[in-house]
Amino acid sequence: MQDVLNFIDGRHAPAACGEWLDDVDPATGETYARVASSDARDVDRSVAAALHAFPTWSVTPVVERSKLLRRLARLIERDLEKLARAESIDSGKPLSAARTVDIPRAVQNFDFFADAVTQFSSEAHPTDEVALNYTLRQPLGPVACISPWNLPLYLLTWKIAPALAAGNCVVAKPSEVTPMSAHLLGSLAAEAGLPPGVLNIVQGLGPRAGGPLCAHSGIRAISFTGSTRVGAEIAREAATSFKKLSLEMGGKNPTLVFADADLREAIPQTVRAAFSNTGQICLCGSRILVERSVYDQVRDELVERVRALRVGDPLQADTEQGALVSRQHFDKVMGCLAVARQEGGRVLCGGGRASVTGRCAGGFFVQPTLIEGLGPSCRTNQEEIFGPVATLLPFDGAEEAVRLANSTRYGLAASLWTRDLSRAHRVGAQLHSGIVWVNCWMLRDLRTPFGGVKESGVGREGGMDALRFFTEPKNVCVKL
C-alpha cells in the first residue's frame, strides 16, 4: 500500500504521531493508500520551516522565483499522465477530465503567476510639491493554503502559485479525501529546486491538522476554499489573531435560460454547467431557471441529454460521469434525493444509485438527476448538494428570473442565456453573484477577479487580486 506523506522542510515524512488515515478509491470503494494523519506537531514543524525559509525567499529576486515556478510547471507537465491517473483514482473523476482539465490547469496556475508577478507594480501618490508617497507591497510571511477535494491539484496550486510568486512561504493543507496529487507535488517542488521550507504540505484531517494551522501564531494569512460551514469556523479563528483571510465557499448557482436564447448552444452548455465533474464544482449551475414559453422544450431536451450521459469506470476513455468522491458524500447526495422526493419533487431522470459493473461494482456512483416541481424556498433549492443533481424552475420575465436567481444565501456564479444584449447587461448587474457568465459557462481568464458574495465568499482570488492578497501594502511617505 502506498504512503501519502507530509512534505516538510524539503522532505517527505510521516505524521509525528505515526497515525494514518485510509485513502479510498471511490470508484471501487477500496482503500488503496494510507495518509499521514498530522496534528499540531507537524504544523509546528512546517511553520518553523516556513519561518526559517522566509527571510531568504522573500528577497529572492522576482525573476529567480518566477524561474523556479516555471520549472515546477514543466515538471508537472512532464508527469501529466502520472498525475492525472493519480488524481482520477483518488477522486473518482474521469481520467479524461484529469488529463485535460485538472492537471493542465495546475501547470497553467504556476506559469500564470510566474508571469504575473513580473508585472506586479504599485501606486505612487505625489502630494503636490510637498511629498512623494509610494506603496510597497511586501510578502506576508508563512501563509496557509487550505483546499477541498473536488479539484484537488487545480485548486491547491491556484493558491500556492501566487503565494510563492509574491515571496511568501506556504504551509498547504490539501483535503484528506484527495491527498495524493499534493503528495506528488512535494517531490516535484524538491526536484524543481524550491528551497526547503518554502513549500510545506501537511496532510490530514480538517480539525486535527487544519485547525492548528489556522490557529498558529506564525501564520500571517489564510487562503481557504471549501464549505461555508468550515469557512465560518476559520473566520472565527482568524478573527482572534487578526489574520488576513480569503474565503472561497459554497454555491447554489442559477442558470437562467431566456426564451430568446440560442437553445442549440444553451441546452448542452446547461448540461455541462450542471454535471461537469459529477456536479462537484463550486461553479456548477444546479438551479436551472427557464422562461415559461420554452420551459417544456428545454426540459425535454435536457432530460434526453442527461439520460445519455455515460456513468462508468473513471479510467475508461468514454466515461463522462465518474464516481462521487467518497462514501460519506455519496450518502449525503442520496439523502438530498430523498429530501427532494419528500418535498414533492418530480424526478425527471436519474434519482438513485448508478450501477456500474466489474471493477467498479462497489463504487460510489449516482445517476445524473433532474428534478422539477419544487418551489424556490424548499431545501432542495436552497442547500448545496454538490452532486449530479439539478432542479428546473419556470419563470415569467426578467424580474422574476432575477428574484429566483437571488433567492439563496449563496452568491458565487450565475450563467445567463439570451440574445438580447441589453437584457444580458441589465440582468447581469442585478444578480447577487461574484461571477456572471453570459452565453457561456466556466470560460475562465485567470486575470479576472474570482470569488463570491453573501455566504459564498470573502475576498477575491485570481490575477493581481491574488498577488495583492498575498502582500501587505506599506505606504512610504518621503518629504521633498
Q: Using alpha carbons only, what angle is made at residue 325 by residues 323 and 328, rounded to the nearest 5 degrees?
A: 115
* E strand residue ranges, 120-166: 124-127, 131-139, 142-146
Tell the smallest beta-carbon distance from residue 276 to ligand NAD (Å): 12
Which of 73, 86, 245, 249 binds ligand NAD (CB under 6 A)? It is: 249
| Local structure of residue 58 (DSSP, 8 states) | H
* Residue 282 designated active-site: yes
**What is the grid cell recorded at 442?**
466556466
324 within 8 A of 366, measured Cβ to Cβ = yes
Task: Report the Cα 417 to chain-centroid distance in Å.
Answer: 24
Interface with ligand NAD, residue 230, by CB under 6 A: yes
| Concatenated DSSP letters of 278-315 | GG-STT-EEEEEEEHHHHHHHHHHHHHHHHT--B--TT
Interface with ligand NAD, residue 248, by CB under 6 A: yes
Tell the smallest beta-carbon distance from residue 169 to ligand NAD (Å): 19
Which of 227, 316, 382, 430 binds ligand NAD (CB under 6 A)? It is: 227
Which of 251, 285, 314, 411 binds ligand NAD (CB under 6 A)? It is: 251
Which of 218, 226, 285, 411 binds ligand NAD (CB under 6 A)? It is: 226
Q: Which residue among 87, 176, 237, 248 is the active-site one?
A: 248
Nearer to ligand NAD by Cβ, of 45 and 173: the residue is: 173
Nearer to ligand NAD by Cβ, of 150 and 418: the residue is: 150
Q: Which residue among 282, 284, 336, 360 is the active-site one?
A: 282
For 117, other C-beta atoms within 10 Å of its C-beta total: 24
Which of 28, 66, 88, 175 binds ligand NAD (CB under 6 A)? It is: 175
CA distances from 94 to 84, 332, 393, 437, 464 (A): 9, 21, 30, 25, 32
* E strand residue ranges, 79-157: 124-127, 131-139, 142-146
Interface with ligand NAD, residue 176, by CB under 6 A: yes
Interface with ligand NAD, residue 382, by CB under 6 A: no
SS3 label, residue 438: strand
Nearer to ligand NAD by Cβ, of 62 and 453: the residue is: 453
SS3 label, residue 433: coil
Interface with ligand NAD, residue 146, by CB under 6 A: yes
Measured distance CA(196)–CA(11) in Å, rounded = 8
Nearer to ligand NAD by Cβ, of 282 and 311: the residue is: 282
Question: What one-letter code names the amino acid at 316?
Answer: Q
Interface with ligand NAD, residue 207, by CB under 6 A: yes
For 3, other C-beta atoms within 10 Å of its C-beta total: 13
* Residue 248 designated active-site: yes
Any idea which residues carry the catalytic annotation?
A: 248, 282
Residues that bind ligand NAD (CB under 6 A): 146-150, 155, 173, 175-176, 206-207, 210-211, 214, 225-227, 230, 233-234, 248-251, 282, 384, 386, 412, 452, 456-457
